[in-house]
Amino acid sequence: MPIIYLSPSTQENNLYVNGGTEEEWMNRLADAMEPYLTAAGIRFSRNTPDMTALSSIRASNAGNYNLHLALHSNAAPEEQYGQARGVLVYNYPGSTEGKRAAQLIANGLKTIYPLPNKVRAESTTAIGEVRRVRAPSVFLELGYHDNPDDAAWVQNNLDAIARNIVLSLTEYFGLPFLDPQASRPAVVDVSWGYLNIRDKPSPTAAVLAKAYDGTRLTVLNQWEDWYVVRLDGMVGWASSQFITLL
């Protein structure tokens, strides 16, 4: 299964003009993304508010992630305070996969941001979480928190933004997008040794684990004849024909 490093802002001193901080609202957005990520079978690790950009980079580089996704909001220079609007989606100029992910996310956000012509993907080497991470990286600036309209857009549309970003991620990883469902206990039911847990809903996809007959697992979602399952903390796909719901 693809795995991302999710890095919401740790900038607690960047104030939203309508109340709250960049750290607070980006962590709320990450919270809203988690059910959609799990529903689609995208695994994730996440920084914590007590971390910094530097420690987030170190944590990301210590793992083997398919994408580093940083969630932020922007601020205009003092002389333009409150006047600027727009969404910027940054990637590293030498990363083909980072650029592809950034463009998909930007295209998705254009469908829900009130000023779609002000959403754009750009390359940069000026941001550490773009330049210094090993994985392909996307750094989101979701509006300007010093602008009342942009701040309100984030605050009032957390679920829609979360859903939209994860929809773009499923396109990037080649996975079906699924709305979150209630999890269900289940058991592997095969007449041979084990059931393969795979990283995508395909009989030719890479095998992540083997679940032996009678193994209990949790079904998180379903797409066609495949279940998204959790087994011992790992999330993957398994054929629904060989799983019995309890």
Mean pLDDT (whole number) for 135-153: 98
CA–CA distance, 40 with 119 (Å, rounded to integer) = 25
Indicate if the pLDDT at residue 187 is higher than 90: yes
* Domains of the chain listed by start with CATH number: 3-173 (3.40.630.40), 184-245 (2.30.30.40)
Indicate if the pLDDT at residue 192 is higher than 90: no
Determine phi and psi for 75, rounding to 5 degrees: -145, 135
**Model pLDDT, residue 143:** 98
**Model pLDDT, residue 182:** 93
Mean pLDDT (the chain) is 96
**Model pLDDT, residue 219:** 95
Q: What is the pTM of this model?
A: 0.92
Q: How many CB atoms lie within 10 A of CB 202?
A: 11
Q: Write the pLDDT tens digit of every residue in 82-134.
A: 999 999 999 999 999 999 999 999 999 999 999 999 999 999 999 999 999 99
Indicate if the pLDDT at residue 1 is higher than 80: no
Task: Count Cβ atoms within 10 A of the Cβ of residue 52 and give its class: 0-12 exposed, 13-18 middle, 19 or more buried.
Answer: exposed
